[in-house]
Chains A and B, each alone.
Chain A
């Protein structure tokens, strides 16, 4: 089984890591870049497939050379057999369409066509959720690659090697959330839901998971970013610069407005417990709530 997981580097939005300027703009230089958290979920799905059925997990991204560390993070925190980065100035400032075109071509370049391509549910910065499905559309129009069904919002996954099929549960959110089960032939394109959970009910699988986690951590720690990450530029991918990056992006961003902070409607007043009159007033205020008014 050959699997590819797609990923992107995003600003680390966690408290204490992210930094904003006075106007509320993200300070890109002061905020570290990390692997998009939803992509780690997708990578867990790839790891589960490898644990249960063997095979090979590639982790692929498009971005600046610094993304090599993002790939390394994926290898250390989840799993990867090899790392591949599509990187070139010409690819910069791509929208989701140009990105999907580039990635589909990158997938075409791999030694072996993947049985399953995994992508995470939207990135933490762009939040479009388009790149995965659009990549599959680009695969559809690419004559070198096999068309494959797209299954999104996947929360659990089982593969039957004998019939070469995949059975996936999807979380369909509507007025009432429903779980839909889909069965389809491989190869397939799978977008995991953040609720996806790897599922290991056999001891042998948990033991293999433990082995693979140990191995991937060791390999990630010993990784030589110059040697061990495959990097392809637009020439290697044989892509026309007019169709990738900013030039290849039909999306026009007309402007960006920061979301203004909502004015607080509450007023705060400090009352010390020693202030008898103040406390009296506090109780007065609370009385209405205590009475359920």
Chain B
């Protein structure tokens, strides 16, 4: 047998975290191989679409990749609003202060364009070190020798040994799970986002959003337009399209048996959006993704042996009320991981890289942003707590209304306070009740009515590009009790819809009717939702297979 190949570093995944890690490793002259499972970098990636460069951060995307903003990003966000919605009443707060606080810049991005641009730079940089970037390669696990991690195994390649493995393989990281660092157990740990990219001519965007050419705005939506499901919506302006989406707590989505695509439609068809859409709606792409809740799952010690986790793979996604930041943290973590590897290598002990990385995440202030202590103090406030119920009653009372009126200005200020936001417990009260009451008491009715008709789910599925391979998900328990939630929570499935991934079926056995769940992975968008809410064996498809996002 030929012996295994060896590289100083193997980076798994060519999203922003992997790209940053690889670029920083290459700059240190470390031989780096990057393995990406998409047919093109970005083909597997979805995000809401804002990337930040923060002043405190030791690594930003444009530091590592000069020219990034001009070549790979959409419009810079100059205005930032949150709309509190109660029926047709809306109260809008300007979130300018929280948005700009500590922010060097913030751009909307579409991931296919962004990641494929990054990958080209990464390949050039890493090739110089004797490595390089390969697409169409799915890393499927860790290579171990006597229990020690010594590299990776792949579908398309023979096993590869490495001094260090950086797993930047996303929210459904198979390596983090192989190493026992992350799991898919608890819906409370996750958000699910769905997004539509909608066509709009650049001049039309300038006019309808009242922005200067080549600049943009961001809008958040919360309140009662999502049938009580905890979460909110967003709208970002790209160069010649809009990214409109919704993000919900997965536990709430699952409990309410809500259909994600319908919640997206509730936003799309709200009269508030008529000022921008004006009856014109051409959807370019429908996409979905799981989002880790860093407050709960950002791993405090994201490494094991020679394996270091970066970005979503380590739960490094900050979502606190209107603050939604993921890619910038992945970039910073990637840079820090590379720094740790280089330092450990200089010291002659590359196995110390993990501990050094952990230290750097702490010292540079990444962890305190991902898991604020203040939140830890308030997180005991759950739905069932009497204090929360009391709060809801109070907010809904006449007294509460008076208070809201009195504190109108103060409220806008508190939405802009990172201190308050860091304390926000993830309950219905904060996501739904307060915004709804704000909209109701302080808001004005919007004029205009929705004239758009979002596409049906089967059209959305039909418009996506797939290169189908063998099924990559297996339902382990097909009883409705165990896996039925997937029928509604899966963003490409719905009750009474036969063309999606999950379907409910009634099977007659020995004269008794049983509710079962069946799965067809053909239209899978690889979000990972069913891995959490159903009993499945979940893997990614092989390299270059499965869904291919054109926008992302």
Which residues on A are within 8 Å of B, measured CB to CB?
A: 200-204, 206-207, 210-211
Contacts and interface: CB of A to CB of B under 8 A. Distances in A.
B127 A207 contact: yes
Contact of A201 (B127, B132, B157): B157
Contacts of A204: 5
A204 B7 CA distance: 10
Interface string B153-165: 0001110100000
A202 B132 contact: no
A210 to B, nearest CB: 7
- 9 cross-chain pairs, A with B, having the tightest CB-CB distances, nearest first: A207-B132, A201-B158, A206-B134, A202-B5, A203-B33, A201-B157, A203-B157, A203-B5, A204-B5
A204 B5 CA distance: 8
A141 B7 CA distance: 49
Interface string B121-144: 001000100011010010000000
29 contacts: A200-B157, A201-B156, A201-B157, A201-B158, A202-B5, A202-B157, A202-B158, A203-B5, A203-B7, A203-B33, A203-B35, A203-B132, A203-B134, A203-B137, A203-B157, A203-B160, A204-B5, A206-B134, A206-B137, A206-B157, A207-B33, A207-B127, A207-B131, A207-B132, A207-B134, A210-B123, A210-B132, A210-B134, A211-B127
Nearest to B156: A201
A202 B158 CA distance: 6
B137 to A, nearest CB: 8
Contacts of B131: 207
Contacts of A207: 33, 127, 131-132, 134
Contacts of B123: 210
| Interface size band for B | 10 to 19
Given A200-B157, A206-B157, A207-B127, 18 more contacts: A201-B156, A201-B157, A201-B158, A202-B5, A202-B157, A203-B33, A203-B35, A203-B134, A203-B137, A203-B157, A203-B160, A204-B5, A206-B134, A206-B137, A207-B33, A207-B132, A210-B132, A211-B127
Nearest to A201: B158
Contacts of B127: 207, 211
A206 B34 CA distance: 12
Contacts of B160: 203
A211 B132 CA distance: 10
B178 to A, nearest CB: 19
Contacts of A206: 134, 137, 157
A201 B131 CA distance: 15
Of the listed residues A202, A203, A210, A211, the one surrounded by the most CB atoms of chain B closer than 10 A to its CB is A203
Nearest to B158: A201
Of the listed residues B7, B157, B160, the one surrounded by the most CB atoms of chain A closer than 10 A to its CB is B157
A122 to B, nearest CB: 30
Contacts of A203: 5, 7, 33, 35, 132, 134, 137, 157, 160
